[in-house]
Amino acid sequence: MLKRRKTKKIKIGNLYLGGNAPVVIQSMCNTDTRDVKATVAQIKQLQKAGCELVRLAVPDLVAAKAIAKIKKRVSIPLVADIHFSAELAMEAMRSGIDKLRINPGNIGDEEKIKMVVLEAKKRKIPIRIGVNGGSLEKDILKKYKGKVTAKAMVESAMRHIKILEKYNFRNIVISMKASDVERTVEAYRLLSAKVDYPLHIGVTEAGTIFRGTVLSSIGLGILLHGGIGDTLRVSLTADPVEEIRVAWEICKALGLRKRGITITSCPTCGRTEIDLIALAKKVESELAFIDKDMHVAVMGCVVNGPGEAREADLAIVGGKGVGLIMKKGEILRKVNEKDLLKEFVKEVKKF
């Protein structure tokens, strides 16, 4: 088990974040929040995939008011993503939002900041300070000679934290996102040495599924392995459901969370005598609906197959045009290649 950094525990709707709570998996809808039907449908898809917290863009009052309608039709906590507007933050809270994502220093003058913070305090709504490498304050950028450094990001975060703490508000989550691994990791490490607030981690604007998965896996993997991170979002230029799938695989690989099928499959070689690549893809697709914690193996030959089969709950070990279906290392039966997928899925459902 990895030793996680001890942070303050906060409540967001019906879930806990930080402290001894599990790492929370989250994403953001890419629907128009004003389109209640489409947004609710996407939230339910995300929840089915394993999303536990979802963020909504709130660009205007119509979107802020729509939160109340969306809340009635979903069961996971919602976060309002708001920029430069105290009025939208107030309306989102009146509409029942579970968490705000704002930077208090850019939502208006002192009176507006005070109004939002005191309302959030009264309603026990957490605030996430979201520092992004692409939108640092001008004076901080000038101080660091126009360079977006990890230290500059931390300085920005501490500035916003002090604004909230001025009003004795400590129901805080912080994120420190850059679009590259090195600055992201350095920023979170620096900040985690200064505060005990829970941290939302992520590599922002990581890219398409292929590149974004690589960057996120490296960046989040380094942080989580070092005990840093209480909630995470994998940022992909893709269907947000893909963000949830990648996030879970990262957490499962580190032993932080358990959910769904874990598939071990060999890379194939000249000894393989079945179409293992196609079979492994089909197994992954067919079993994607299962949320039970389960380990299966799809192996191409007898070199590593029997050993992996012993480690897995269920396994396929390939031969020449056939495969053995094994359960806990014991052979159940031999099956022709054309029937392997169907028969294996049957066994998984029985298991």
pLDDT at 91: 97
Mean pLDDT by 10 residues, the chain (351 residues): 89 95 97 98 96 97 98 97 93 97 81 92 95 83 90 93 93 91 94 96 87 94 96 95 95 91 87 88 87 88 77 89 90 91 90 83
Cβ distance 54 to 79 under 8 Å? yes
Which residue range(s) make up the domain with 30?
10-253
CATH of residue 79's domain is 3.20.20.20
CA distance 145 to 159: 19
Query: Using one digit for the tens of pLDDT, what is the confidence trace for 37-86?
Result: 999 999 999 999 999 999 999 999 999 999 999 999 999 999 999 988 99
Do 247 and 194 have their domain in common?
yes
Look at the chain and report how many structural domains it folds into: 2
Question: How large is the C-alpha radius of gyration of the chain?
Answer: 23
pLDDT at 99: 97
CA distance 18 to 337: 48
Do 222 and 313 have their domain in common?
no
CA distance 30 to 207: 15
- Tell me, yes or no, whether 2 lies in a domain: no
Query: Using one digit for the tens of pLDDT, what is the confidence trace for 168-215?
Result: 999 999 998 888 899 999 999 999 999 999 999 999 887 899 999 999
CA distance 279 to 338: 10
Do 204 and 278 have their domain in common?
no
pLDDT at 156: 92
Do 304 and 172 have their domain in common?
no
Looking at 236, 253, 270, the residue that finishes a domain is 253
DSSP 4: P
Is 296 strand, coil or helix?
A: strand
* Strand partners of residue 107: none
* Strand partners of residue 130: 175
Cβ distance 178 to 204 under 8 Å? yes
Do 333 and 279 have their domain in common?
yes
Do 44 and 98 have their domain in common?
yes
pLDDT at 298: 92
Do 206 and 266 have their domain in common?
no
Do 85 and 188 have their domain in common?
yes
Looking at 221, 253, 285, the residue that finishes a domain is 253
pLDDT at 1: 66
Whole-Å CA distances, 36 to 59, 62, 92: 14, 11, 15
Structure pTM? 0.90
Do 105 and 148 have their domain in common?
yes
